[in-house]
């Protein structure tokens, strides 16, 4: 429970959670404490992990237009980057290897910079309307092989780089979180009339000189001209 009698902490130093711990009264510090409340996983939850991209996983990937890619930098800083394209855009090269094309974006290359120092990545594949997801972990490299780039072209535009991942773990994730969220049930979606636009966030967070209207025009131009 949050202890509101203690002052809020504006930030926590990288790798140090002592300040955060002081804000709460009942902090879990071991797996034993977790298991005392939650118990052990069922046998099927443990057994569902496989080490290859089997036929079931291939079929899921072939229908997925969206994947989240998690990575970590040399200093431990984490990042989760969304990737989207027509369904099946992630290519299964063999039973242990995936390829994800990199499309034009904001050039932050957070995932790529992380992979250069720490190859470990995690993936979650999402299919609209499907309530379970597919999770994978592995190690990644960045490649520019011409034949692979050509095979992953869209509208004649080749990806400049491709993230190639050697998979070590594959598992399906149960639908409970999707069901609870109402993710694919429009009638349960929240009212977004008071939601800040992407342009508003960029101007506010970046302290930009452009107005929101000017930034909205820049965004719309990029969405129209730089998808591929």
Report the Cα 103 to chain-centroid distance in Å.
15
DSSP state of 141: E
Do 132 and 196 sit in the same domain of this protein?
A: no
Gyration radius of the chain's alpha carbons: 21
Confidence (pLDDT) at 2: 41
Do 146 and 214 sit in the same domain of this protein?
A: no
What's the rounded Cα separation, in Å, for the pair 124 and 136?
Answer: 7
Half-sphere exposure of 119 (CA within 13 A, CB side): 11
- Structural domain count of the chain: 2
- State the DSSP H helix or E strand holding residue 117, giving kind and residue range, or none if neither: helix 110-117
Do 161 and 196 sit in the same domain of this protein?
A: no
Cβ atoms 132, 178 nearer than 8 A: yes
Do 212 and 138 sit in the same domain of this protein?
A: no
The last residue of one of the domains, among 143, 158, 179, is: 179
Does the reported pTM lie above 0.85? yes
Confidence (pLDDT) at 3: 46
pLDDT in tens, 180-228: 999 999 999 999 999 999 999 999 999 999 999 999 999 999 999 999 9
Report the Cα 30 to chain-centroid distance in Å.
26
């Amino acid at each position: 429970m949050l202890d509101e009698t203690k002052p809020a902490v504006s930030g926590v130093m990288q790798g140090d959670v002592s300040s955060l711990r002081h804000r709460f009264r009942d902090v879990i510090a071991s797996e034993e404490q977790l298991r005392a409340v939650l118990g052990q996983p069922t046998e099927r939850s443990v057994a569902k992990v496989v080490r290859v991209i089997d036929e079931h996983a291939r079929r899921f990937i072939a229908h997925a237009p969206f994947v989240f890619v998690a990575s970590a930098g040399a200093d431990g800083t984490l990042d989760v980057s969304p990737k989207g394209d027509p369904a099946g855009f992630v290519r299964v090269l063999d039973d242990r290897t995936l390829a994800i094309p990199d499309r034009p974006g904001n050039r932050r290359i957070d995932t790529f910079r992380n992979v250069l120092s720490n190859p470990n990545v995690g993936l979650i594949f999402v299919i609209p309307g499907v309530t379970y997801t597919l999770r994978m972990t592995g190690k990644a490299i960045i490649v520019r092989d011409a034949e692979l780039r050509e095979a992953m072209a869209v509208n004649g535009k080749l990806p400049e780089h491709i993230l190639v991942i050697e998979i070590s773990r594959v598992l399906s994730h149960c639908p409970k979180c999707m069901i609870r969220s109402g993710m694919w049930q429009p009638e349960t979606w929240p009212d977004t009339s008071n939601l800040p636009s992407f342009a508003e966030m960029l101007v506010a967070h970046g302290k930009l000189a452009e107005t929101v209207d000017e930034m909205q025009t820049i965004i719309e131009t990029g969405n129209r001209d730089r998808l591929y």
